[in-house]
């Protein structure tokens, strides 16, 4: 994964016939020369403009690139009201997000995701910021501001992007100081739950050949999941903390220096903070209480109820926007990024160098049980440093385009994990059966180094026929230093329950990973006319192995292997109706070897390997029949199957109600329930976050009024039934739902000042953003925000 991978993604777009803000991003050259800070006027051209992308690390019309790509400009994102990195998912076919906190964000692309919440894992959907790979899943969420464009590539991108782009990649590109004249803007707004935000940017030339731009954003909001006492008279008092709040700011400074006519240096510094964010809690979801106080489960040990949100103490119905946690959670996070990009032309060859250093720290705490009693408390910290360097040569000839390169990535991670409560009770029982509220303190250090070499070439067989071949070889070297200590002063002295030394004594070499593999691409594209492209491709994507860190993990299970994805795709890209309609479609089939499947097994966040396959299709339409009306429509279909996923395994807990009958699959032994399940291997499971069908839509109409332009927009997405966990338990089934947003914006023509009123989740749909099946302990979930509304004012200057 390299910085350049990002650059490669940098899809740009000229004003698509869409209402300015709806127009796909401008081409790089046009964006630099025109109004980067203003919306492309609502009454702009009604014909679709050219869309330039760099998915192959060079400028190309998106309709000529044989890859499934969706790109949005910064103006489009403003029109959609997207202010954080996760907000793009509704308008990107086959892209989903799984998130209960900014602490950790899980993107899913065509159902490919790593839905494990352990900090040490890397995701199979690579995320890039300004050509730099973000190696930590703690760093992919954040505020989005002063953005030039966002691009999403679907399918394996391992040839040019490396070992962790199995499912594809997402690239966020910030605005540079591309204007000679000073320009910028100030934007501010207010919304539901006291949501206050301010954003600003300013930049321009400060000397001949030297330009600087600075931008930043601040946002603060109350939580929308309200803290509620269950029974104050019985001492069941909630924490008083409302969940889902915001409190953070981010800023960046970038400089571009034209060292010579053929050499340009780009420098970046970025800083982001989240300060004691109100997060770290859930609502108690889907449980039928048994006489012993636990939840009903199926033969795999998964909670099998679908009765909606409940009060975890009384068993009565509750609101998705009430939480009963007795402990206040939190998130503190800081991110600092330093980057230098150098591009030099030497005759017919271009040299590109991208150097990045990232420093991230996170501290997080949560009440994991969603009730006013200690069952699960979870805390962790993560200190992450990353250095990467990419060097690439590229050129062209009459019969081919080519590029070769090398990449190095070094990541160092130090972390702690603290668990208190039932999930570690089984360990305590090994010491003394009278354990109460035991604590497991885990510490770990992981060093990961990767180097790779790659090359790709397009061979022009004829004017209409092109063959693309790419190859990358990658070497991973990782090592783990780990220790878990059981602490319960009421029982015994501290006890080491697991460590690297203990694992090594049982399974020599288990603490080290040495992995070499190759990614490849072969594409045949046929362009019978400038308005039609047909393509067929094979891509081989790779993702390295890692470790499942948990309180009760064993030496034989802690390490999981690498996964390999072979993707076969066929598609078309067309421009119709005199250039007013773009219609693109892709059909794909995935064959996975050793797919990395996540499940909470015996209270351990566990990853196991299994073969899998998936088949799907995407269709996108961009229609602009007049300068007044624009539409974006997308649809997906997918089916998937994973051969085997490990289930819950054994579960242990204290007897809640003395004398209560045993639950099915459980026995009462000395006041403790020991539960074992006959079907602890789940077969033919579907990918998580992969609905059979989905449909996204955006409709925009504008009219000139009162010296300006008034634009009305409706956008959203409909999703079919989907499982939110790969274990496919009934309680994690999210029913089909639709989310619609609307806005009304007025822009004054002479000044560019705009005022926009907006509503998100217009019909107040209740749907889950995350869920975790805890077996006999029930299911915890977190719901996306209810209907929210607000107003945004934007004042541009120097246009």
Quick one: three-class SS letters along 15-39?
CCCCCHHHCCCCCHHHHHHCCCCCC
Per-chain mean pLDDT for the chain: 88
User: For residue 15, what pLDDT is reported?
Assistant: 29
Region 271-290 average pLDDT: 93
For residue 176, give the nearest of 129, 133, 212, 210 by alpha carbon: 212
Is-contact 623 668, C-beta < 8 A?
no
Q: What's the CATH superfamily of 3-797?
A: TonB-dependent receptor, beta-barrel domain (2.40.170.20)
pTM: 0.92
Residue 37 vs residues 306, 688, 770, 797: alpha-carbon distances, Å = 48, 39, 36, 8
Does residue 798 contact residue 37 with C-beta atoms inside 8 Å?
A: yes
Confidence class of residue 49 from pLDDT cuts 50, 70 and 90? low
Answer yes or no: are the C-beta atoms of 143 and 575 closer than 8 Å.
no
Number of helices (H), then strands (E), in the chain:
6, 46
Nearest 5°: the CA angle 294, 244, 370 is: 15
What percent of the chain is modeled with pLDDT above 90? 67
Q: Is the pLDDT of residue 531 over 90?
A: yes
- Minimum mean pLDDT among 138-152, 294-308, 654-668, 728-742: which range? 654-668
Q: How far apart are CA 689 and CA 704, in angstroms?
A: 42
Phi and psi (nearest 5°) for 505?
-65, -30
Residue 215, pLDDT score: 98
Task: Collect all residues with Cβ–Cβ distance below 8 Å to 172 and sequence separation of at least 6.
Answer: 85, 127, 128, 129, 130, 144, 147, 150
Tell me, rounded to whole angstroms, the distance of Cα 36 from its chain centroid.
27
Q: How far apart are the first and last CA of the chain?
A: 37
> Is the pLDDT score of 39 beyond 80?
no
The tens digit of pLDDT for each residue in 766-787 reads 999 999 998 888 999 999 999 9
**Predicted confidence band of residue 426 (pLDDT cuts 50, 70, 90):** low
Q: How confident is the model at residue 424, as a pLDDT? A: 58
Task: Determine the average pLDDT of the residues in 213-230.
Answer: 96
Which residues lie closer than 8 Å to 56 by C-beta, 6 or more apart? 8, 65, 67, 160, 401, 456, 458, 468
Given a cut of 80, is residue 654 above it in pLDDT? no
Whether the CA torsion 317, 321, 327, 333 is positive or negative: it is: positive
Cα 455 from Cα 422, distance rounded (Å)? 51
**548-572 pLDDT tens trace:** 988 778 899 899 999 999 999 999 9
Confidence of residue 44 (pLDDT cuts 50, 70, 90): very low
Under the banding of pLDDT at 50, 70 and 90, the label for residue 233 is confident
- 428 vs 8: which has the higher pLDDT: 428
pLDDT in tens, 499-516: 999 999 999 999 999 999
The three-state DSSP-derived secondary structure of 282-351 is CEEECCCECCCCCECECCCCCECCCCCEECCCCCCECCCCEECCCCCCEEEEEEEEEEEEEEEEECCEEE
State the average pLDDT over residues 153-157.
95
The secondary structure element, H or E, covering residue 161 is: helix 158-161
463: Cβ contacts below 8 Å, ≥ 6 apart: none
Residue 71 CB coordination number (10 Å): 26
Is residue 110 packed enough to be buried (19+ CB in 10 Å), middle (13-18) or exposed (0-12)? buried
- Which sequence spans correspond to the domains of the chain? 3-797
pLDDT tier for residue 27 given thresholds of 50, 70 and 90: very low
pLDDT reading at 1 higher than 50: no
Q: Two tokens at 532?
A: 């039609």
Provide mean pLDDT across the span 483-499.
Answer: 80
Round to whole Å and give the CA distance between 212 and 182: 10
pLDDT at 99: 81
Pairing assessment for the beta strands 132-133 and 125-129 based on DSSP bridges: antiparallel
Give residue 50's pLDDT.
63
% of residues, the chain, pLDDT over 70: 91
pLDDT for position 197? 98
| Residues in contact with 793: Cβ distance below 8 Å, sequence separation at least 6, in sequence order | 187, 188, 189, 753, 754, 755, 756
Segment 345-371 shows an average pLDDT of 95
Read off the pLDDT of residues 112-138 as tens digits, 9 standing for 90 and up: 987 777 888 888 999 999 999 999 989
Q: Using only the alpha carbons of the chain, give its radius of gyration.
A: 26
With bands split at pLDDT 50, 70 and 90, how would you rate the model's confidence at 438? confident
DSSP 487-523: EETTTEEEEEEEEHHHHHHHSTTTTEEEEEEEEEEEE
Q: What pLDDT score was predicted for residue 504?
A: 95
Statement: residue 201 has pLDDT above 60: yes
For residue 528, count CB atoms less than 10 angstroms from its CB and return exposed for 0-12, middle for 13-18, buried for 19 or more: exposed
**Residue 722: its H or E element:** strand 722-723
The predicted structure's pLDDT at residue 650: 82
**Per-residue confidence at 177, pLDDT binned at 50, 70, 90?**
confident
């Amino acid at each position: 994964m390299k910085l350049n991978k990002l650059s490669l993604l940098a899809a740009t777009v000229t004003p698509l016939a869409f209402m300015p803000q709806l127009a796909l991003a401008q081409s790089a050259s046009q964006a630099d020369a025109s109004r980067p800070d203003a919306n492309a006027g609502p009454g702009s051209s009604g014909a679709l403009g050219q869309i330039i992308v760099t998915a192959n690390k060079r400028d190309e019309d998106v309709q000529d690139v044989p890859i499934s790509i969706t790109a949005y400009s910064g103006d489009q994102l403003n029109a959609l009201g997207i202010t954080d990195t996760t907000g793009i998912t509704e308008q990107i076919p086959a892209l989903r997000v799984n998130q209960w906190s900014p602490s950790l964000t899980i993107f899913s692309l065509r159902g490919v995701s790593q839905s494990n919440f352990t900090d040490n894992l890397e995701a199979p959907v690579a995320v890039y910021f300004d050509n730099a790979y973000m190696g930590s899943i703690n760093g992919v969420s954040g505020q989005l501001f002063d953005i030039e464009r966002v691009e999403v590539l679907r399918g394996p991108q391992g040839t040019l992007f490396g070992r962790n782009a199995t499912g594809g990649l997402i690239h966020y590109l910030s605005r540079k100081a591309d204007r000679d004249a000073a320009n910028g803007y100030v934007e501010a707004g207010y919304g539901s739950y006291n949501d206050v935000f301010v954003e600003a940017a300013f930049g321009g030339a400060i000397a001949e050949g030297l330009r600087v731009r600075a931008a930043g954003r601040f946002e603060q909001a109350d939580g929308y999941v309200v803290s509620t006492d269950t029974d104050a008279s019985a001492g069941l008092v909630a924490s008083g903390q409302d969940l889902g709040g915001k409190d953070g700011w981010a800023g960046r400074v970038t400089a571009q220096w034209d060292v010579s006519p053929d050499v340009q240096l780009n420098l970046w510094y970025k800083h982001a903070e989240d300060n004691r964010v109100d997060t770290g809690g859930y609502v108690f979801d889907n449980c039928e209480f048994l006489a012993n106080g636990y939840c009903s489960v199926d033969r795999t040990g998964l909670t099998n109820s679908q009765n909606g949100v409940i009060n975890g103490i009384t068993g009565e119905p509750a609101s998705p926007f009430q939480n009963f946690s007795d402990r206040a959670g939190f998130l503190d996070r800081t991110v600092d990024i330093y980057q230098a990009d150098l591009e030099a032309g030497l005759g017919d060859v271009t040299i590109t160098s991208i150097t990045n250093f990232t420093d991230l720290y996170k501290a997080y705490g949560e009440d994991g049980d969603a009730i006013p009693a200690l069952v699960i408390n979870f805390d962790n910290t993560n200190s992450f440093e990353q250095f990467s360097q990419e060097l690439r040569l590229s050129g062209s000839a009459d019969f081919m385009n080519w590029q070769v390169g090398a990449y190095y990535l070094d990541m160092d991670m130090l972390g702690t994990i603290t668990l208190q409560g039932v999930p570690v009770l089984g360990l305590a029982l090994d010491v003394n059966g009278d354990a109460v509220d035991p604590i497991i303190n885990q510490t770990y250090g992981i060093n990961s180094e990767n180097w790779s070499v790659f090359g790709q070439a397009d061979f022009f067989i004829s004017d209409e026929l092109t063959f693309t071949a790419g190859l990358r070889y990658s070497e991973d070297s990782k090592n783990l230093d780990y220790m878990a200590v059981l602490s319960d002063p009421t029982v015994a002295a501290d006890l080491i329950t697991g460590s690297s030394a203990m694992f090594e004594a049982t399974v020599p070499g288990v603490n080290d990973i040495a992995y070499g593999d190759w990614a490849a691409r072969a594409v045949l594209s046929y362009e019978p006319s400038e308005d039609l492209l047909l393509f067929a491709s094979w891509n081989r994507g790779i993702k390295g192995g890692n470790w499942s860190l948990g309180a009760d993990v064993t030496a034989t299970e802690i390490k999981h292997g690498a996964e390999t994805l072979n993707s076969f795709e066929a598609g078309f890209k067309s421009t119709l109706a005199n250039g007013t309609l773009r219609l693109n479609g892709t059909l794909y089939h995935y064959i996975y070897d050793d797919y990395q499947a996540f499940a909470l097994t015996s209270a351990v966040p566990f990853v196991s390997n299994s073969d899998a396959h998936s088949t799907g299709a995407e269709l996108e339409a961009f229609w602009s029949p007049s300068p007044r009306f624009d539409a974006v429509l997308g649809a997906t279909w997918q089916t998937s199957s994973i051969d085997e996923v490990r289930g819950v395994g054994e579960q242990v807990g204290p007897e809640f109600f003395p004398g209560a009958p045993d639950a099915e699959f459980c026995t009462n032994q000395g006041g403790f329930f020991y539960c074992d399940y006959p079907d602890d291997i789940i077969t033919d499971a579907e990918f998580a976050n992969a609905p059979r069908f989905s449909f996204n839509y955006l409709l925009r109409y504008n009219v000139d009024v009162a010296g300006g332009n008034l634009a009305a927009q409706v956008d959203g997405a409909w999703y079919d039934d989907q499982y939110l966990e790969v274990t496919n338990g009934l309680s994690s089934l999210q029913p089909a739902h639709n989310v619609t947003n609307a806005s009304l914006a007025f822009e004054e023509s002479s000044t560019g000042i705009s005022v926009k009123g907006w509503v998100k989740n217009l019909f107040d749909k209740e749907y889950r953003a995350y869920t975790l099946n805890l077996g006999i302990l029930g299911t915890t979930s977190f719901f996306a925000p209810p209907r929210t509304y607000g107003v945004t004012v934007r004042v541009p200057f120097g246009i």
